Amino acid sequence: MEPVSSVARAWLAAEPDDDVRIELARLIDGPQDVLAARFDGRLQFGTAGLRGEMGAGPLRMNRLVVRQAAAGLGRYVLDHWSDAAERGIIIGFDARRKSDDFALDTARVFAEMGIRALLLPSALPTPVLAWNIREHDAVAGVVVTASHNPPADNGYKVFLGDGAQIVPPHDIGIAACIDMFDPCTVALAASDHPLIVRLDGTPLERYLESVPAARLRPELTGVPVAYTAMHGVGGATLLAAFDRAGLPAPFVVSAQQEPDGSFPTVSFPNPEEPGAMDLLLARAVETGALLAIANDPDADRLGAAIPTPATATRPGGWRRLTGDEIGWLLGDHILRHTSGDDRLVVTTLVSSSLLGRLAAAHGVHFAETYTGFKWIGRTALDHPDLRMVFGYEQALGFLVCRQPLDKDGITAAVLLAEVAALAASEGVTLQQRLDDLAERFGRHVTAELSIRLDPVDAAAKVAAMRATPPTEVDGRPVTGVEWYEEAGLLRLWLDDVRLQIRPSGTEPKVKLYGEAIGSDPALLLESLAHLL
């Protein structure tokens, strides 16, 4: 085997960026075990594409890793679609550090392979890229983004020509093609190569033209809404979407409205993280908003918070909604304002079961699929005889339109603003909407817990529990056990309480999920965690 220092020097010679060259040179001159750790494998390409910390070496996100990934994807589509070169691949990117460089390198790799590369003109939301894949009849789509990961990260997400994220076996096939290329010798076309098509503003315009279709009660004029783009790329697009949809402009958090890949006011730009929405809630109070909404940095997710009334023992305030609660509000609204027995609603295994009860009450089709939004899009494709009107996952992903076949935090924001407007017009609050659902279907309470573990250990722990499931959790007998192979997920039933456990597909942790009706499953999750 070639010494690590020799491999590292080959990377140093090929590295195009001065900052990464400086970092790698220091690693080469430093302790060899530290250098070896950077070269002990490579970032693994999976159904979430690539995602990781920026830096030198094959276990970090950098231009050499991206070029290798692009070459592998190019090889895969050429091998599987005879018209791949002509149809081309559309490429988007967010505002994180080097995202534009990664996108251009991707285009140059494709062009050198004879594939048309359709490059979006600027940093734009992931839904704009996903929406335009089918619009351009592209064979695939790539967006350079780390979504809601910490500021130090970047990533590489892949869609196929049907507009949905990749699922097995495509991820395995692309990964195998990536292995065929040496990241230090991937050939690049010139940046002005004729196969690199630099798109104008039309893709964004066509996406915005589709936004009004998200509305189901377009006569409603809207209520005051506060909004944060969280330093991501969604800000300008969301304002334009609200305008096209006939809604008043939201009150924005100005300090977070413009794209900034350093995320100066939030350490973890994920609406689910504690403290991430603090500036938004302050803005909501200041403006008298009835709804507060947040996009993650690439605007494919939607977070939300609502005001809570004062009681005799507690002053009024604001509370953040869970992804399930947002899903209940959107699902209830959609099912009450659409018709047809061909309707389909979809959610994931780890999301609340309440959507299934809503579907049954409205007499529509319901599907529960694997964890990850890619499976929701795939479910729609697998049921061409049905009309999917709504899909959601508890991790703030919502699909409220027919296109794109992926989560879209922009159109979901438009529809949630309409839900708030309808509630206000009927003299009720969003909390009262949720209370009404609890009265009709039972008060569904969900909880989540994560345990940080090395990915190998995480998978082993879950496999061990699958092999020998517990007979009780916190003194309560386990009454049923289910295993979902594709998701690597173990589900335990304690009568009507549902506990689930799986290794994360994108982070070094095991994730636990609980749902109960009329009680809080959080303590049961803690007990289940101890059993690991």
pLDDT digits (tens, 9 = 90+) for 63-80: 999 999 999 999 999 999
Distance CA 106, CA 117 (A): 8
Strand partners, 510: 451, 503
- Domain boundary among the residues 421, 442, 463 is at 442
- Domain boundary among the residues 154, 170, 200 is at 200
Domain holding 318, by residue range, is: 222-442
Active site residue 147: yes
Residue 494 lies in a domain: yes
Instruction: Return the pLDDT at 504.
Output: 80
Residue 215 lies in a domain: no
The stretch 104-124 carries a mean pLDDT of 98
Residue 488 lies in a domain: yes
Per-residue pLDDT of 94-107, as tens digits, reads: 999 999 999 999 99
The mean pLDDT of the chain is 95
Considering the domain architecture, whether residues 499 and 438 belong to the same structural domain is answered as no
Number of domains present in the structure of the chain? 3
The stretch 245-271 carries a mean pLDDT of 96
Considering the domain architecture, whether residues 118 and 248 belong to the same structural domain is answered as no
| 309 or 363, which is more confident | 363
Q: Residue 439 burial by CB count (10 A; 0-12/13-18/19+): exposed, middle or buried?
A: exposed
Q: Please state the length of the chain.
A: 532
Considering the domain architecture, whether residues 420 and 485 belong to the same structural domain is answered as no
The stretch 460-484 carries a mean pLDDT of 93
Considering the domain architecture, whether residues 70 and 153 belong to the same structural domain is answered as yes
The stretch 297-324 carries a mean pLDDT of 89
Instruction: Return the pLDDT at 314.
Output: 67
Q: pLDDT class for 313, splitting at 50, 70, 90? A: low
Considering the domain architecture, whether residues 196 and 256 belong to the same structural domain is answered as no
pLDDT at residue 91 is higher than 60:
yes
Distance CA 82, CA 143 (A): 23
Considering the domain architecture, whether residues 434 and 455 belong to the same structural domain is answered as no
Instruction: Return the pLDDT at 285.
Output: 95
Considering the domain architecture, whether residues 429 and 491 belong to the same structural domain is answered as no
DSSP assignment string, 79-91: HH-TTHHHH-EEE
Residue 371 lies in a domain: yes
Q: pLDDT class for 146, splitting at 50, 70, 90? A: very high
pLDDT at residue 476 is higher than 70:
yes
In this structure, what CATH number is given to the domain that contains residue 476?
Answer: 3.30.310.50
Considering the domain architecture, whether residues 416 and 301 belong to the same structural domain is answered as yes
pTM score, whole prediction:
0.95
Instruction: Return the pLDDT at 372.
Output: 87
| 67 or 507, which is more confident | 67
Considering the domain architecture, whether residues 381 and 519 belong to the same structural domain is answered as no
Residue 216 lies in a domain: no
Name the residue with tokens 């996406």. Answer: 207
Q: pLDDT class for 272, splitting at 50, 70, 90? A: very high
Instruction: Return the pLDDT at 506.
Output: 65
Considering the domain architecture, whether residues 438 and 451 belong to the same structural domain is answered as no
154 closest CA partner among 283, 225, 34, 53: 53
Per-residue pLDDT of 161-220, as tens digits, reads: 999 999 999 999 999 999 999 999 999 999 999 999 999 999 999 999 999 999 999 999
In this structure, what CATH number is given to the domain that contains residue 331?
Answer: 3.40.120.10
Asked if residue 377 lies in contact with residue 369, where contact means CB atoms within 8 angstroms, the answer is no
Distance CA 476, CA 385 (A): 43
Residue 214 lies in a domain: no
Per-residue pLDDT of 384-434, as tens digits, reads: 999 999 999 999 999 999 999 999 999 999 999 999 999 999 999 999 999
- Domain boundary among the residues 167, 200, 233 is at 200
Residue 433 lies in a domain: yes
Radius of gyration of the chain (CA): 23
| Catalytic residue from among 99, 147, 352, 353 | 147
Considering the domain architecture, whether residues 416 and 526 belong to the same structural domain is answered as no
Residue 305 lies in a domain: yes
Q: What percent of the chain has pLDDT over 70?
A: 98
Instruction: Return the pLDDT at 449.
Output: 93
Phi then psi for 303, rounded to 5 degrees?
Answer: -105, 160
Distance CA 522, CA 445 (A): 9
Considering the domain architecture, whether residues 186 and 281 belong to the same structural domain is answered as no
Asked if residue 420 lies in contact with residue 427, where contact means CB atoms within 8 angstroms, the answer is no
